[in-house]
Amino acid sequence: MSAKKSAEELKSIFQKYAAKEGDPDQLSKKELHLLIKAEFPNLLKSSSTIDDLFKELDKNGDGEVSFEEFQVFIKKISQ
Ligand SMILES: [Ca+2]
Ligand SMILES: [Ca+2]
């Protein structure tokens, strides 16, 4: 099995965590943190923090990460 996650898997991961609180189609910072901690724990060992990552992903600055904004993260981890 490849360590990389498929687009399908990433979408279901996004939906699973986005549905935890507030808007079920948007990831709050807390939801993003839970997602990273559970699914991509090695990312937390790198220099970028959840705060930085969240700021980078939340392009429109509404305090939530939509699936569209999440694509940036998917590109980042699939490099
Ligand atoms: Ca949410
Ligand atoms: Ca946003």
**Total domains present in the chain:** 1
Domain CATH number, residue 18: 1.10.238.10
In a domain, 2, yes or no: no
2 CA distance to ligand 2 middle (Å): 30
0.85 surpassed by pTM: yes
In a domain, 1, yes or no: no
Ligand nearest to the CA of 67: 2
pLDDT band at 47 (very low <50, low <70, confident <90, very high): low
In a domain, 41, yes or no: yes
77 CA distance to ligand 1 middle (Å): 21
Q: What is the 3-state secondary structure (H, E, C) of 15-63?
A: HHHHCCCCCCCEECHHHHHHHHHHHCHHHHHCCCCHHHHHHHHCCCCCC
Ligand nearest to the CA of 23: 1
In a domain, 40, yes or no: yes
Range of the domain at 65: 7-77
Neighbours of ion ligand 2 (CB under 5 A): 58, 60, 62
Q: Is pLDDT larger for residue 59 or for residue 2? A: 59
